[in-house]
């Protein structure tokens, strides 16, 4: 029997308008139509409230599973804007709830950080709901709009007054049984576990879960944020030390980088830190060396809590206590090898005789006494790195920090650097090296593996 040709022309191309695409292909937006996707509906709405909390505008979120399987999410944030959108000519609330990729998370002005589906979440939940109602408390008024299968049933309207001090958004929705056809229902324990984790990573925010079906409820609040999360994970274990954490502000955004990291280095110890690229080796050395200053956490080097000092003190501290060796050498190109070393000594305020004589001694230590008058461009990579080591020793610091000192060198030259580190170790200096080089690992008294910011002995 001959196969009938299948039509495929311009008339077969469909354009799905509005939220119809979400209803046709829910898997693209919430991962399917199973119980996991059902819970994802709640997560998306709650994520919007969490974003308000991360912006410092919300400190209480209440999630209620109602007896009819509808869900209400309330927060005390700023409230979704309700004024008329300049392009769509309808309330911004309606735009947010009925238009994919509409929200305040794209321009960077309203939210520095955010989670969820970035402008898809609320509208996707609305599209996949049998009905959805939103109340916004803003500017002393209560605004309301109802949707069915994602379609507004009327324009946004004012339905009452609210205290001037009250603001926030309350969203109530019931999943559409035409889409979620299986015998699915919300699981209290699943939601509680998720909200516990949310509360841990969004510190000082109250997150309450109420289940009216079984008269159950639980409230989460953790002042310590991720540090509290680590304590929770360790609650039935014997901890070796208190939780330490570090915060850093990047482009006006505070990033909490808790890694439960605790490192004690003894005097004259040689420690190697190894791990994959991006594991945090350079960041750790920069923190120890006071090149990077955390906005929270504690770093104590030679009895100095580095987080408590200003940059002027830290510059003096670095000069006196720490010698740095970088993978890229960081020599001043317009100065000779001798001058690169002398410059560091002069900045530290040493007498002129030391400025004149000490660079030659250090170049001899690294085997470059005959290359002192050469500029970096006239030196090989290995020679530049040896000059960098001599410069690191210029002020006789008790601590040497070396970041991938053999990373840009061939095997033979790398062995020369290993030999220099052996000399430094034998002089009794404390050395911390971040490296991939197995030869350097063998030199160390202790080797530590760094993965995702966590140090472990190997």
- pLDDT tens, 98-137? 988 765 544 445 544 444 444 467 899 999 999 999 999 9
Q: What are φ and ψ of residue 23, in 5° steps?
A: -70, -35
Tell me, yes or no, whether 251 lies in a domain: no
The alpha carbon of residue 52 and the mean position of all alpha carbons in its chain are separated, in whole angstroms, by 18
Considering 206, 223, 240, which residue would you say is the last residue of a domain?
Answer: 223
Query: Do the Cβ atoms of 206 and 78 come closer than 8 Å?
Result: no
Tell me, yes or no, whether 244 lies in a domain: no
C-alpha to C-alpha distance for 173 and 182, rounded to whole angstroms: 18
pLDDT at 156: 94
Tell me, yes or no, whether 368 lies in a domain: yes
pLDDT at 225: 62
Q: Residue range 421-433: average pLDDT? A: 86
Query: Do the Cβ atoms of 73 and 42 come closer than 8 Å?
Result: yes
Query: Are residues 150 and 280 located together in one domain of the fold?
Result: no
Residue 233 has pLDDT above 50, yes or no: yes
Query: Are residues 375 and 450 located together in one domain of the fold?
Result: yes
Tell me, yes or no, whether 233 lies in a domain: no
Q: Retrieve residue 164's tokens.
A: 């001037």
C-alpha to C-alpha distance for 78 and 95, rounded to whole angstroms: 17
- β-pairing, 216-220 vs 141-148, is unpaired
The DSSP string of 327-376 is TT----TTS-HHHHHHHHHHHTT--HHHHHHHHHHHHHHTT-GGGTT--G
Q: What confidence tier does 228 reach under pLDDT thresholds 50, 70, 90?
A: low
pLDDT at 230: 65
pTM surpassing 0.85? no
Query: Are residues 217 and 325 located together in one domain of the fold?
Result: no
Query: Are residues 185 and 305 located together in one domain of the fold?
Result: no
Q: Which residues pair with 60 in a beta bridge?
A: 206
C-alpha to C-alpha distance for 251 and 271, rounded to whole angstroms: 33
Segments of 4-124 assigned E as strands: 60-65, 71-75
Helix (H, G, I), strand (E, B) or coil at 449: strand
Q: Residue range 280-295: average pLDDT? A: 80
C-alpha to C-alpha distance for 121 and 102, rounded to whole angstroms: 10
Query: Are residues 286 and 186 located together in one domain of the fold?
Result: no
Residues 359-386 pLDDT 10s: 999 999 888 999 999 999 999 888 998 8
C-alpha to C-alpha distance for 257 and 226, rounded to whole angstroms: 8
Tell me, yes or no, whether 31 lies in a domain: yes
Considering 223, 241, 274, which residue would you say is the last residue of a domain?
Answer: 223
Q: Residue range 302-307: average pLDDT? A: 82
Tell me, yes or no, whether 206 lies in a domain: yes
Query: Are residues 201 and 319 located together in one domain of the fold?
Result: no
Query: Are residues 171 and 274 located together in one domain of the fold?
Result: no
C-alpha to C-alpha distance for 384 and 391, rounded to whole angstroms: 10
pLDDT at 278: 65
% of the chain residues with pLDDT over 70: 80
Query: Are residues 331 and 408 located together in one domain of the fold?
Result: yes
- Output the domain CATH number for residue 333: 3.40.50.300
C-alpha to C-alpha distance for 49 and 399, rounded to whole angstroms: 47
Query: Are residues 205 and 272 located together in one domain of the fold?
Result: no
By C-alpha distance, which of 425, 395, 401, 377 is closest to 326?
401
Residue 263 has pLDDT above 60, yes or no: yes
Tell me, yes or no, whether 445 lies in a domain: yes
Our CA angle for 187, 32, 36, nearest 5°, is 20
Q: Retrieve residue 196's tokens.
A: 């516990």
Query: Are residues 211 and 306 located together in one domain of the fold?
Result: no
Query: Are residues 176 and 56 located together in one domain of the fold?
Result: yes
- Output the domain CATH number for residue 80: 3.30.565.10
C-alpha to C-alpha distance for 390 and 306, rounded to whole angstroms: 26
Considering 174, 196, 223, which residue would you say is the last residue of a domain?
Answer: 223
pLDDT at 236: 67
Tell me, yes or no, whether 100 lies in a domain: yes
Most confident of 46-60, 248-262, 286-300: 46-60
Q: What confidence tier does 261 reach under pLDDT thresholds 50, 70, 90?
A: low
C-alpha to C-alpha distance for 47 and 384, rounded to whole angstroms: 51
Query: Are residues 442 and 310 located together in one domain of the fold?
Result: yes
pLDDT at 15: 52
Sign of the torsion angle spanned by Cα atoms 73, 75, 77, 81? positive
Residue 47 has pLDDT above 50, yes or no: yes
Residues 173-198 pLDDT 10s: 999 999 998 788 999 999 998 998 88
How buried is 323 (Cβ within 10 angstroms: 0-12 exposed, 13-18 middle, 19+ buried)? buried
Q: What are φ and ψ of residue 18, in 5° steps?
A: 60, -135
Q: How many domains does the chain have?
A: 2
Helix (H, G, I), strand (E, B) or coil at 211: strand
Which residue range(s) make up the domain with 134? 20-223
């Amino acid at each position: 029997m001959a196969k009938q040709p299948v039509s495929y022309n311009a008339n077969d191309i469909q354009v799905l308008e509005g939220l119809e695409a979400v209803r046709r292909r829910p898997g693209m937006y919430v991962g399917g139509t199973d119980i996991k996707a059902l819970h994802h509906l709640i997560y998306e709405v709650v994520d919007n409230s969490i974003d308000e909390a991360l912006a410092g505008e919300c400190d209480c979120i209440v999630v209620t599973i109602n007896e009819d399987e509808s869900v209400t999410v309330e927060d005390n944030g700023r409230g979704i804007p309700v004024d008329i959108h300049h392009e769509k000519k309808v309330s911004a609330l309606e735009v947010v709830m009925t238009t994919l990729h509409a929200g305040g998370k794209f321009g960077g002005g309203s939210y520095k950080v955010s989670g969820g589906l970035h402008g898809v979440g609320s509208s996707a939940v609305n599209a996949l709901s049998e009905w959805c109602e939103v109340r916004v408390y803003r500017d002393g008024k209560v605004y309301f709009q109802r949707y069915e299968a994602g379609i507004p049933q009327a324009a946004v309207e004012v339905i009452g007054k609210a205290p001037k001090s009250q603001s926030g958004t309350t969203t109530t929705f019931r999943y559409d049984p035409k889409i979620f056809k299986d015998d699915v229902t919300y699981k209290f324990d699943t939601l509680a576990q998720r909200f516990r984790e949310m509360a841990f990573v969004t510190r000082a925010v109250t997150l309450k879960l109420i289940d009216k079906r079984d008269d159950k409820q639980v409230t989460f609040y953790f002042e310590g944020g991720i540090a509290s999360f680590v304590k929770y994970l360790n609650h039935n274990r014997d901890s070796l030390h208190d939780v330490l954490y570090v915060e850093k502000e990047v482009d006006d955004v505070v990033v909490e980088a808790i890694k439960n990291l605790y490192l004690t280095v003894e005097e004259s110890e040689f420690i190697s830190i190894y791990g994959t690229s991006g594991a945090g080796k350079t960041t750790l050395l920069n923190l120890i060396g006071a090149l990077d200053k955390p906005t929270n956490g504690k770093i104590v080097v030679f009895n100095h809590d580095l987080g408590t000092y200003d940059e002027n003190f830290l510059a003096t501290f670095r000069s006196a206590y720490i010698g740095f060796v970088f993978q890229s050498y960081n020599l001043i190109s317009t100065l000779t090898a001798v001058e690169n070393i002398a410059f560091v000594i002069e900045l530290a305020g040493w007498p002129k005789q030391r400025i004149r004589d000490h660079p030659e001694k250090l170049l001899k230590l690294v085997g470059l006494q005959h290359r002192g008058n050469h500029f970096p461009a006239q030196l090989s990579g290995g020679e530049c790195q040896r000059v960098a080591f001599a410069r690191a020793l210029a002020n006789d610091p008790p601590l040497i920090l070396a970041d991938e000192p053999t990373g840009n060198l061939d095997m033979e030259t790398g062995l020369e650097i290993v030999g220099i580190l052996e000399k430094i170790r034998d002089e009794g200096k404390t050395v911390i090296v971040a490296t991939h080089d197995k030869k350097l690992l063998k030199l160390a008294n202790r080797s530590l593996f760094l993965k995702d910011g966590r140090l472990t002995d190997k």
